Amino acid sequence: MIVAQRKPFEEIIAKIEPYQKVIVAGCETCVAECHAGGKKEVEIMASQLRIAFSRKMAPIEITECCIERQCEPEMIEKCAEHVMAQEAVLSIACGIGVQQMAERFPNIPIFPGLNTTFMGTHAKPTQWEERCAGCGNCVLDLTAGICPIARCSKSLLNGPCGGTDDGKCEVSDDIPCAWAEIIERMTKRGKRDQLRQIIPCKEWNTARDGGTRRLIHEEAAP
């Protein structure tokens, strides 16, 4: 899922202050799972904004909506009429949702309420961790299902480096060494010898460095 976290409240307030009709638009998918932009968070954000602006005696009308997937144009359409009646939108979806809203409503200012952080998983009850860097050339079969690009601080394809210490990364004791985990898992599988094969340099032209990526599925044409 895409993991995001809320922007500082003062930053949000400063951005929407000039407007008198604002809608808080959430997304019921990834950002709801990471407790950043789902229905509950929309209610909390809207409530906080109402309290903050009523204390400033500023006349503002805050409304709420939550879209099932804000990255899907068809789903945005369900609340289009309501959004078009607003002066501004505070989108608490990921960056994709914010851009999709901006594309659908080009004349309405859309403000992001979240900082989109990474693609990750719910690792512990209160913790989300990065799992995929979207490099476009997956090597997980070679590394026991642990991504060295996203989870090794140096994105090493052949590790570990000299900075590993008792299974931890030299960057921080909180960060497990991805390569120590890869070796441990391969050892448990009895496949540790496979790690003696050098993984060749990746083709990075599939990664972000090549500019905006596109994917075309001709068979998906209506």
Partner 1 sequence: MKHIIVYRCQQCGGRQKLFKENWVREFVLTCSGQLEPIHILRAFEDGEFGVCVVHCEANACRTLTGCQSAIRQVKYARQLLGEVSIHPERVKTICFQPGCDLHAELNLFLEHLKHLDAHGSESTPDVSERKKT
Distance of closest approach, residue 24 Cβ to partner 1, in angstroms: 10
Q: Which is nearer to partner 1, 51 or 123 (CB)?
A: 51
Reference 23, options 85, 97, 98; nearest CA is 85
Distance of closest approach, residue 9 Cβ to partner 1, in angstroms: 4
Q: Which two tokens stand for residue 96?
A: 């994709």
Positions in the binding site for partner 1 (CB under 8 A): 9-10, 23, 40, 43-44, 46-48, 50-55, 57, 61-65, 79, 82
Which residues make beta-bridge pairs with 22? 62, 88
Reference 27, options 79, 85, 82; nearest CA is 79
Q: Which is nearer to partner 1, 8 or 211 (CB)?
A: 8
Distance of closest approach, residue 57 Cβ to partner 1, in angstroms: 8
Distance of closest approach, residue 118 Cβ to partner 1, in angstroms: 23
Q: Which is nearer to partner 1, 83 or 182 (CB)?
A: 83
Q: Which is nearer to partner 1, 23 or 182 (CB)?
A: 23
Distance of closest approach, residue 123 Cβ to partner 1, in angstroms: 19
Which residues make beta-bridge pairs with 89? 23, 110
Q: Which is nearer to partner 1, 50 or 189 (CB)?
A: 50
Distance of closest approach, residue 162 Cβ to partner 1, in angstroms: 41
Q: Which is nearer to partner 1, 65 or 144 (CB)?
A: 65
Give the integer Cα–Cα distance in Å for 30 and 119. Answer: 10
Residue-wise DSSP of 64-127: EEEES-TT-HHHHHTTHHHHHTSSEEEE-S-HHHHHHHHHH-TTS-EEE-EEEEEEEEEEETTE
Reference 161, options 149, 179, 175, 140; nearest CA is 179
Strand pairing category for 110-112 and 88-91: parallel
